[in-house]
Amino acid sequence: MADELIKPDELLSKIDHRPSGAGWMDTPVDIRKGMYCYAANPKSVDTLGLPNARAWNPLEEDWKLPENWQQIIHDGFRERLDKFRSFKVYMDICVRCGACADKCHFFIGTGDPKNMPVLRAELLRSIYRNDFTTAGKILGRLGGARPMTLDVLKEWWYYLFQCTECRRCSVFCPYGIDTAEITIMGRELLNLLGLNIDWIATPVANCYRTGNHLGIQPHAFKDMLDFFVEDIEEITGIQVDPPYMEKGADILFITPSGDVFADPGTYTCMGYMLLFHYLKEKYGLRITWSTYASEGGNFGFFTSHETMKRLNSKMYAEAKRLGVKWILGGECGHMWRVISQYMDTMNGPADFLEEPVNPITGTKFENASSTKMVHISEFTADLIKHGKLELDPSRNDNKIVTFHDSCNPARGMGLLDEPRYVLENVANNFYEMPANTIREQTFCCGSGAGLNAGENMELRMAGGFPRANAVKHVHEEFGVNMLACVCAIDRAALPASMEYWVPEVDVTGLTELVANALIMPGEKERETDLRGEPLPGMEE
Partner 1 sequence: MNKNYMVSLIAVIVLFLIAYVGTQQGAGLQVLFGIIVPYLAIILFVVGFARRVMGWSRSAVPFRITTTCGQQSSLPWFKQAKIDNPSSTLAVIIRMFLEIVCFRSLFRNTRMRLSGGTRMTHQMELFLWIGALAFHYAFFAVVVRHLRFFTEPVPIFVTLLEQVDGFMRIEVLYDIVQAGLPGVYMSGLVLLAAVLYLFLRRVFIPQVRYISLAADFFPLFLIVGIALSGIFMRYFAKVDIVAIKELTMGLVTFRPSVPEGVSAVFFAHMFLVSILLAYFPFSKLMHLGGVFLSPTRNMTGNTRQVRHVNPWNYPVKVHTYDEYEDDFREKMVEAGLPVVKMPEEQA
State the nearest-atom distance from the C-beta of 57 to partner 1, in Å. 29
State the nearest-atom distance from the C-beta of 213 to partner 1, in Å. 14
* DSSP designation for 95: -
By CB under 8 A, is residue 187 in contact with partner 1? no
3-state class (DSSP) for residue 12: helix
State the nearest-atom distance from the C-beta of 466 to partner 1, in Å. 6
In the bound state with partner 1, the residue whose beta carbon lies nearer, of 86 and 481, is 86
Contact 267, 484 (CB under 8 A): no
In the bound state with partner 1, the residue whose beta carbon lies nearer, of 263 and 306, is 306
By CB under 8 A, is residue 55 in contact with partner 1? no
Cα(144)–Cα(141) distance, integer angstroms: 5
In the bound state with partner 1, the residue whose beta carbon lies nearer, of 236 and 340, is 340
By CB under 8 A, is residue 475 in contact with partner 1? no
State the nearest-atom distance from the C-beta of 188 to partner 1, in Å. 13
By CB under 8 A, is residue 17 in contact with partner 1? yes
H helical segments located in 26-178? 42-47, 69-83, 85-92, 105-110, 117-132, 134-139, 150-160, 168-172
Q: Which stretch binds partner 1 (CB under 8 A): 132-140, 194-202, 504-512, 525-533?
A: 132-140
Q: Is the dihedral of CA 279, 292, 307, 30 positive or negative?
A: positive
Binders of partner 1 in range 99-128 (CB under 8 A): 99, 101-103, 108, 113, 116, 118-119, 122
Cα(153)–Cα(171) distance, integer angstroms: 28
Binders of partner 1 in range 407-436 (CB under 8 A): 410-418, 421, 434, 436
- Residues near partner 1 (CB under 8 A), total: 122
In the bound state with partner 1, the residue whose beta carbon lies nearer, of 5 and 171, is 171
State the nearest-atom distance from the C-beta of 130 to partner 1, in Å. 13
In the bound state with partner 1, the residue whose beta carbon lies nearer, of 376 and 530, is 376
In the bound state with partner 1, the residue whose beta carbon lies nearer, of 175 and 537, is 175
| CB neighbours of residue 256 within 10 Å | 30
- Return phi, psi of residue 240, to 5°: -90, 160
Contact 445, 497 (CB under 8 A): yes
Site track for partner 1 across 337-366, x = CB under 8 A = --xxxx-xxx-xx-------------x-xx
By CB under 8 A, is residue 33 in contact with partner 1? no
Q: Which stretch binds partner 1 (CB under 8 A): 137-145, 448-456, 480-488, 532-540?
A: 137-145
Three-state DSSP string of 404-452 = ECCHHHHHCCCCCHHHHHHHHHHCCCECCCCHHHCHHHCCCCCCCCCCC
Of 72, 77, 45, the C-alpha closest to 194 is 45
Cα(56)–Cα(65) distance, integer angstroms: 9
By CB under 8 A, is residue 181 in contact with partner 1? yes
By CB under 8 A, is residue 173 in contact with partner 1? yes
Cα(384)–Cα(361) distance, integer angstroms: 10
By CB under 8 A, is residue 368 in contact with partner 1? yes
Binders of partner 1 in range 283-342 (CB under 8 A): 291-292, 305-306, 309-310, 313-314, 317-318, 321, 339-342
The CA–CA distances, whole Å, from 459 to 28, 388, 402, 486, 488 equal 19, 44, 24, 23, 19
Binders of partner 1 in range 211-250 (CB under 8 A): 211, 217-219, 222-223, 244-247
By CB under 8 A, is residue 98 in contact with partner 1? yes
In the bound state with partner 1, the residue whose beta carbon lies nearer, of 282 and 321, is 321
Binders of partner 1 in range 138-167 (CB under 8 A): 139, 142-144, 167
Residues contacting 533, CB < 8 A, separation 6+:
none
CA 151 to chain centre: 30
- C-alpha angle 19/25/30, rounded to 5°? 75
